Every structure is written in C-alpha cells, then in structure tokens.
C-alpha cells in the first residue's frame, strides 16, 4: 500500500501544495510535516495530561470545535443551531451521515470573530461511539494538511477498499497522533501486554475503542512488537481453486486452517527485521491455538519465529519470541515480541 500511495499523483500534488520539497517518499514527508506542527502544538500546550486532552488542544489550535451526535435529536438540534446562525450548508446535514460517513468538517461563513473558523460534527450514535476518538483525529488530520486547494467539506469513510489516496494518508496521520509516542512512552512499564495496553487506553484516551488502542499503542511502542489477528482461512492458491470449482459439487473442498490474517508491525519490529507475513499458517503447537480453540481466554509462552512457515514450506529466521494470545470479541489476537534482536529480514 505504501508504494502505491507514494506513486499517487494526488499525494505528490498534496505534498507540493504543502510546500514540501520533492522526494521519493511523499507519504513520509507529509507525516513529518504534520509531526513538526504537532510538536509545536505540544510545546505550547498548557495542561494536556492525556491524549484526549491533547486532541482538544490540537483541535483548538487548528480553529475547529467538536459537535457530537449521540441521537437523532442531537442531529436535529445541531442542524437548527447552525441554520439559525445563517450557516446554510447545514440544511442537508441530516442526509450526509451514513454507515460510511462518520464525521464532517465545515468551514463556517457566519461566525463571530472569536468563534472557531471550522466545526467538526462527529457521529457517535450506536456502534459509531467506539470510533468517535479516531473520527475526531481524522477530521483534525484534514485540517493539519489543509491547503488553499482543499475542499471545504470533508467526509470520513470507514471502508479501505477503493478509498481515495488522500483519505488513506489522513488515516495514517490520525493513527500516528491518536496514540502519539511522547504520551505513551513515559507510562510504559516493562514488556508490552494486553493488560498494559488497556491500562494505557484508560489513562490516555478512554474514549478510544479497544481495537484502535490495540493497533495504535502497538505502533507507538518503542520496542519491537507485532500485533497479529488470527482466523481460519485458505492459502491463496486454495482460494483460487475454490473460486474456480465452486460450481462443482464433487470437488474436494480445501480445509481452512488458522492463519495470520492481519499483521501490524511497529517501526522497531520493521527495523529489526521481525516480520510474519499475512496469511501465514499459525504453528499448531503455538499458544495461539490454545486460545483460538477456546481452551483459555488468554495464554502466553516462549516460542520461536522459525515455527512459522510460508505456503511453500520456507521457514522464518530462528528467533526466540514471546507470544501472548487473547480472545477479543470472538477473534484471536496475538502479540509477538522478539527476545533477542538478531533476526534478519526473511526473503522469498
């Protein structure tokens, strides 16, 4: 995905509009541009003990305020409030939100000099409440890279398929600063664990969802770590075979096995060459199987990275790892933590 983004003409144009000198990695350049602004805001912050507090501070520095929708009545009240102030763009706001659109930022045309230039409306109804923290950062991220060429209304979609390249970069910005390392690092005590991630979530950003916190805090962790979502699935070749033979009842169907469906490595893990490829088969003697089978809600053990094999039978580098597996919402997640930093990148 990173390669495609760096090759996107829209991302190159955005970097140019931001005054960023041309390079081969405009996505990284844009993230660095945003971090410079964020660091300046952090230096100016008077009292921001948590990420939630810092989010509000950054929103204020970018001249926006949040309006939260917790019910249909809230939406009607927000619409009436801004229409009364002469903001005609709010006339259709009740038709803007959907299963895909969770947040919208408007530039206000009728406001008092002391009022924010923008307003960000966040849909917190039903299951959207768990996404509210990330949605707020998403809207703030739009303002971090606002240029004269930017549109006046921004919509936040939740589906990655066919997503606009700029929206993908916005997600990267929101993910980076929603769990910003300078807030996470001082509170770290010992090795990463699911329990410590939850403690950090409750301390720094209780409004963030459990899943967003898992991903965000793993990425912010200074020591190498991978977060792996494990589900039963097929090899790519088996999936193709199944698609080709789906109309034949007599075909022998391939049997799904436990695989690493989604792998999220942090930067330290990438630097150390610690990597499990997505769709790799989970070793049958791993504690991940113990949790997935329902024999335990959580389990941990010392294992070896070389237990993992590719579909072609190649194995990863021999490397001692700590594996911590836990059942979350019916899915099995695992934290993979290298114990000795001697691994080398695996090559196909």
- Lowest-pLDDT range, 12-26, 204-218, 244-258, 331-345? 244-258
Band (345; pLDDT cuts 50, 70, 90):
very low
Per-residue model confidence (pLDDT) at position 115: 94
Q: For residue 314, count other CB atoms closer than 10 A to its CB.
A: 11
* Exposure string over 237-276, b if 16+ CB within 10 A, otherwise e: ebeebeeeeeeeeeeeeeeeebbbbebbbbebbeebbbbb
Q: Are 304 and 319 in contact (CB under 8 A)?
A: yes
Residue 168 confidence (pLDDT) above 60: yes
Residue 148 confidence (pLDDT) above 80: no
Per-residue model confidence (pLDDT) at position 68: 97
Q: Are 274 and 244 in contact (CB under 8 A)?
A: no
Per-residue model confidence (pLDDT) at position 238: 62
Band (226; pLDDT cuts 50, 70, 90):
very high
Q: Could you give the strand order of the β-sheet that contains 257-265, starting from the edge strand earlier in sequence?
A: 257-265, 226-233, 331-338, 320-328, 298-304
Percent of the chain residues topping a pLDDT of 90: 67
Per-residue model confidence (pLDDT) at position 45: 85
Residue 101 confidence (pLDDT) above 80: yes
Surface-to-core class of residue 290, CB atoms within 10 Å of its CB (0-12 exposed, 13-18 middle, 19+ buried): middle
Residue 109 confidence (pLDDT) above 70: yes
Per-residue model confidence (pLDDT) at position 234: 79
Per-residue model confidence (pLDDT) at position 340: 63
Percent of the chain residues topping a pLDDT of 70: 86
- Lowest-pLDDT range, 6-10, 97-101, 147-151, 222-226? 147-151
**How many Cα atoms occupy the beta-carbon half-sphere of 254 within 13 Å?**
17
Per-residue model confidence (pLDDT) at position 239: 61
* Exposure string over 114-127, b if 16+ CB within 10 A, otherwise e: eebebbbbbbbbee
Closest to 108 in 3D by CA, of 53, 167, 63, 156: 63
Give the three-class secondary structure for 87: coil
Radius of gyration of the chain, Cα coordinates, nearest whole angstrom: 23
Residue scoring higher pLDDT (219 or 310): 219
Band (92; pLDDT cuts 50, 70, 90):
very high
Band (348; pLDDT cuts 50, 70, 90):
very low
Per-residue model confidence (pLDDT) at position 343: 45
Residue 244 confidence (pLDDT) above 70: no
Residue 243 confidence (pLDDT) above 70: no
Residue 279 to residues 35, 41, 251, 260, 261, Cα–Cα distance (Å): 33, 40, 23, 5, 5
Residue 250 confidence (pLDDT) above 80: no
pTM of the model: 0.85
């Amino acid at each position: 995905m990173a390669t495609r983004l760096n090759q996107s003409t829209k991302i190159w144009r955005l970097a140019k509009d931001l005054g960023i000198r041309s390079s081969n990695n405009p996505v990284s350049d844009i993230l660095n541009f945003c971090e410079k602004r964020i660091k300046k805001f952090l230096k100016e912050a008077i009292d921001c003990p948590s990420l939630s507090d810092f989010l509000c501070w950054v929103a204020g520095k970018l001249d926006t305020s949040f309006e939260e929708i917790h019910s249909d009545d809230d939406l009607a009240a927000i619409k009436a409030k801004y229409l009364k102030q002469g903001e005609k763009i709010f006339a259709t706001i009740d038709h803007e939100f959907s299963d895909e659109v969770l947040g919208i930022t408007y530039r206000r045309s009728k406001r008092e000099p002391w009022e924010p230039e923008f307003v960000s409306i966040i849909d917190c109804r039903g299951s959207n409440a768990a996404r509210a923290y990330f949605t707020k950062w998403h809207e703030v991220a739009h303002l971090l890279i606002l240029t004269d060429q930017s549109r006046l209304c921004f919509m936040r979609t939740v589906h990655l398929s066919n997503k606009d390249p700029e929206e993908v970069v916005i997600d990267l910005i929101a993910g980076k600063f929603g769990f910003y390392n300078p807030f996470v690092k001082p509170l770290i005590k010992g090795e990463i664990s699911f329990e410590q991630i939850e403690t950090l979530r409750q301390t720094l950003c209780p409004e963030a969802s459990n899943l967003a916190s898992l991903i965000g805090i793993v990425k912010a962790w200074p020591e190498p770590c991978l977060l792996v979502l494990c589900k039963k699935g097929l090899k790519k070749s088996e999936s193709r075979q199944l698609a080709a033979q789906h109309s034949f009842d007599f075909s022998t169907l391939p049997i799904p096995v436990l695989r690493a469906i989604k792998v999220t490595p942090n930067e330290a893990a990438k630097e150390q060459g610690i990597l499990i490829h997505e769709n790799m088969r989970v070793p049958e003697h791993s504690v991940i199987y113990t949790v997935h089978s329902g024999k335990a809600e959580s389990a941990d053990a010392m294992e070896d990275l070389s237990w993992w094999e590719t579909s072609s039978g190649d194995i990863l580098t021999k490397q001692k790892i700590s594996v911590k597996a836990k059942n979350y919402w019916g899915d099995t997640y695992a934290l993979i933590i290298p114990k000795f930093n001697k691994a080398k990148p695996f090559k196909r």
